[in-house]
Amino acid sequence: MPLVPMRVLLDHAAENGYGLAAFNVNNMEQIQAIMEAAEETESPVIVQASRGARKYTNDAYLRHLMLAAVELHPKIPIAMHQDHGNSPKTCFSAMEQGFTSVMMDGSLLEDGKTPSSYEYNVRVTREVVQAAHAKGVTVEGELGCLGGVEDGHGAGLSGEEARKHLTDPAQAEQFVADTGVDALAVAIGTSHGAYKFKRKPTGEVLVMSVIEEIHKRLPNTHLVMHGSSSVPEELLDVIRMYGGYIKETYGVPIEEIQRGIKHGVRKINVDTDNRLAMTGAIRKVFACQPTEFDPRMYLGPARESMKKVCVERMVAFGQAGNAGKIKPKTCQEMVFFYEELPQKAAPQKAK
Ligand code: G3H
Ligand code: 13P
Ligand code: ZN
């Protein structure tokens, strides 16, 4: 089947009460790891590429690698998503490359660093929604800015500055009405990368209550958790054991993500855990087999190690077993869907 719009996967997840991991990719081995995990667990898949990933791979390589994934895994519905689009231009170029979903991250200005105004965020997000929905492409927006609310920890905003930029539930309701996004990324104290929390997070720093409040106000909007790697100790141990240095750090516990899934979270972004898994595996080969120089001998174990993380997340988030249950739709069919109801409510599992 061709790539499917992400909305199709999110709607099925909402109807059936599960979440979908969205894994970042930058090369062939990462795409293979995700697809092998999806085959093994019969999971629908969200693959996402950041701007950096598109630059690193070159769009043409990425496009053809995704076409290979589709060809080799005809029974797995796959959505291809632009992660953190920094401008409408980035989202439009992704659509030209065949992405079936885009994130317009208007919570930050085009530099990807400076928090923007609400008006700016609505303007750019609305512009992308109009163009994307006319092509049947799904849109994720973001309100609030990611960042660790513990002082000096986490990437991007931190401390009081990050706390000020947690998503305001009332404003979230307004934002969805103003933009028509399919999915909304919310800021609840997570940050990208390995350094999220200095200790196992409590509700003070990982503010899951914000999700519960937003879901009450927006029961029909798919919520997205960014910065949701769990940074498991066993992956850090492998890196440390084979000469790497990673300070003490904690990620987002799986049980907190599962709590989010009960309250409308349908997409969970995971990149760092896969980076840690691959790095540990490569370090191990370099340390234990110093004479080895065939890239397949370290990229193969790296791919295997990432696949294991993907399988674990697919099972934990509940997407496992659902690949064959989804009725795929094309982007063209989604055009009719959006035309029919400009603000079509996303279905939810009956309570
Ligand atoms: O947005 C964060 C993802 O982990 C992608 O990271 O921009 O280094 O590709 P990146
Ligand atoms: P992690 O760094 O926690 O894996 O988050 C990835 C992410 O949010 C990509 O958008
Ligand atoms: Zn993110």
Instruction: Give 204-247 as a DSSP string.
Output: TTS-HHHHHHHHHH-TTSEEEE-S-----HHHHHHHHHTT----
pTM of the full structure:
0.96
Q: Whose CA is nearest to atom 3 of ligand 2?
A: 227
Read off the pLDDT of each residue in 42-65 and give the average, rounded to a whole number: 98
d(CA 272, ligand 2 centre) in Å: 6
83 a catalytic residue: yes
Read off the pLDDT of each residue in 331-342 and give the average, rounded to a whole number: 89
226 touches ligand 1 (CB under 6 Å):
no
274 touches ligand 2 (CB under 6 Å):
no
- Burial per residue of 137-158, b for 16 or more beta-carbon CB atoms within 10 angstroms, e otherwise: bbbbbbbbbbbbbbeebbbbbb
- Render pLDDT for 227-240 as a digit per residue (tens, 0 to 9): 999 999 999 999 99
What value does the mean pLDDT of the chain take?
A: 95
**Structure tokens belonging to residue 49:** 């590429």
Task: Give me the sign of the Cα torsion angle 236, 258, 143, 55.
Answer: positive
Q: Domain spans of the chain? A: 6-332
**Structure tokens belonging to residue 39:** 């085959």
What is the atom index within ligand 2 of the atom nearest the CA of 191?
A: 3
DSSP 8-class letter at 253: -
The pLDDT value given to residue 154: 62
52 touches ligand 1 (CB under 6 Å):
yes
Given the residues 11, 59, 83, 271, the one annotated as active site: 83
Question: Do the Cβ atoms of 223 and 184 come closer than 8 Å?
Answer: yes
207 - beta bridge partners? none
* CB-side neighbour CA atoms (13 Å) of 138: 29
Range with lowest mean pLDDT among 16-20, 99-103, 144-148, 211-215? 144-148
The pLDDT value given to residue 147: 87
11 touches ligand 1 (CB under 6 Å):
no
d(CA 52, ligand 1 centre) in Å: 7
- Render pLDDT for 151-207 as a digit per residue (tens, 0 to 9): 666 667 778 887 889 999 999 999 999 999 999 999 999 999 999 999 999 999 999
272 touches ligand 2 (CB under 6 Å):
yes
149 touches ligand 2 (CB under 6 Å):
no
What is the atom index within ligand 1 of the atom nearest the CA of 275?
A: 4
Give residue for tokens 């949701």.
228
How sure is the predictor about 320, in pLDDT bands with cuts at 50, 70 and 90? very high
The pLDDT value given to residue 288: 98
Neighbours of ion ligand 3 (CB under 5 A): 226, 269
How sure is the predictor about 148, in pLDDT bands with cuts at 50, 70 and 90? confident
The pLDDT value given to residue 164: 85
DSSP assignment of 101-146, as one string? EEEE-TTB-TTSSSB--HHHHHHHHHHHHHHHHTTT-EEEEEES--
CATH C-level class of 6-332: alpha beta
